[in-house]
Amino acid sequence: MGYIIETRGITKRFGGLTAVDNVSMGVNAGEVVAILGDNGAGKSTLIKMISGVHKPDEGTILLDGKPMKLESPMDALANGIETIYQDLALAENLNVSSNIFLGREKTKRSLGVLNVLDHEYMQKESRSVLDRLEIEIPSLKNTIRTLSGGQRQAVAISRSIYWQAKVLIMDEPTAALGIAEQKKVLDLVKSLKTQGIGIIIISHQMYDVFEVADRIIVMRRGQNVATRMVSETTADEIVGLIVGSETVKR
């Protein structure tokens, strides 16, 4: 079975700087791939190309083995590529279900002519996706402002899942969380995996990576310098690869 999402030799230059240099990688359905690297190694640029924010200068991105052009983040969303940025992109003044449906609100006909928001439907659907992921949020009518960091992360994840993500990209999902909440989010990632979603995680936390990832891709100076199965490597080796002290074998 082929990769659900794949890049072949993609390159991105900003002026004279090559941020991502001829990177090929792929993620299988139900697999968690962690991308590691130092600051400036090109991780963010790589995922921004996959999520449609930047257009690659060279190379192709394939979804389900078919090449595709991502002109904008909306294209990526339409193709089932969901990205959860560090800032989560939630509107804090709106409630949980409004955020899950943000930009894609369900409406119903009222009085035969007007399209009005179908809050009932959105609440019900939100509840069911939260239940499916075993996320506990007391009331969906609470605004995001009243939720904890972990709960917010969970809402952001639920939003992607609800919209049928095939690929989920997570940028530092545990960075701003307390220990207990980090664990919850990692559990959530594991349960997503069992639902057949391909997940790409960018993280600085080595522990997280070893906890949830199946495979690790190490980037340095824009290049993919190593790929390791988690079961076959150690944290020391990975750190060595990131900083460049470990010579690349294989």
> Judged by CB under 8 A, does residue 112 bind other proteins?
no
Choice between 164 and 194, CB closer to other proteins: 164
Among positions 79, 98, 151, 158, the unique one binding other proteins when judged by CB under 8 A: 98
> Judged by CB under 8 A, does residue 164 bind other proteins?
no
> Judged by CB under 8 A, does residue 94 bind other proteins?
yes
The site for other proteins, by CB under 8 A, has a size of 36
How many whole angstroms separate alpha carbon 170 and alpha carbon 201? 5
> Judged by CB under 8 A, does residue 151 bind other proteins?
no
> Judged by CB under 8 A, does residue 35 bind other proteins?
no
> Judged by CB under 8 A, does residue 115 bind other proteins?
yes
Choice between 117 and 133, CB closer to other proteins: 117
Under a CB-based contact definition with an 8 Å cutoff, are residues 154 and 137 in contact?
A: yes
Query: How far is C-alpha 61 from the geometric centre of its chain's CA atoms?
Result: 16
Q: In this structure, what DSSP letter does residue 234 have? A: -
Among positions 4, 25, 31, 42, the unique one binding other proteins when judged by CB under 8 A: 42
> Judged by CB under 8 A, does residue 121 bind other proteins?
no
Q: Where are the beta strands (DSSP E) in 28-86?
A: 32-37, 58-63, 66-68, 81-84
Q: Where are the beta strands (DSSP E) in the chain?
A: 5-14, 17-27, 32-37, 58-63, 66-68, 81-84, 107-110, 114-117, 167-171, 198-202, 215-220, 223-229
How many other CB atoms are there within 10 angstroms of residue 207's CB atom? 12
Choice between 73 and 149, CB closer to other proteins: 73
Q: Which of 201, 198, 212 is closest to 167 using CA atoms? A: 198
How many whole angstroms separate alpha carbon 241 and alpha carbon 75? 34
Under a CB-based contact definition with an 8 Å cutoff, are residues 237 and 210 in contact?
A: no
Angstrom CA distances, 237 to 37, 46, 154, 226, 249, stand at 13, 23, 32, 11, 11
DSSP H helices, 65-135, are 73-78, 96-100, 119-132
Choice between 127 and 221, CB closer to other proteins: 221
> Judged by CB under 8 A, does residue 74 bind other proteins?
yes
> Judged by CB under 8 A, does residue 243 bind other proteins?
no
Among positions 9, 14, 138, 229, the unique one binding other proteins when judged by CB under 8 A: 14
> Judged by CB under 8 A, does residue 23 bind other proteins?
no
Among positions 10, 26, 27, 43, the unique one binding other proteins when judged by CB under 8 A: 43
> Judged by CB under 8 A, does residue 107 bind other proteins?
yes
> Judged by CB under 8 A, does residue 16 bind other proteins?
yes
Interface ranges with other proteins (CB under 8 A): 14-17, 19, 39-45, 73-74, 77, 85, 87-94, 98, 102-105, 107, 110, 114-117, 143
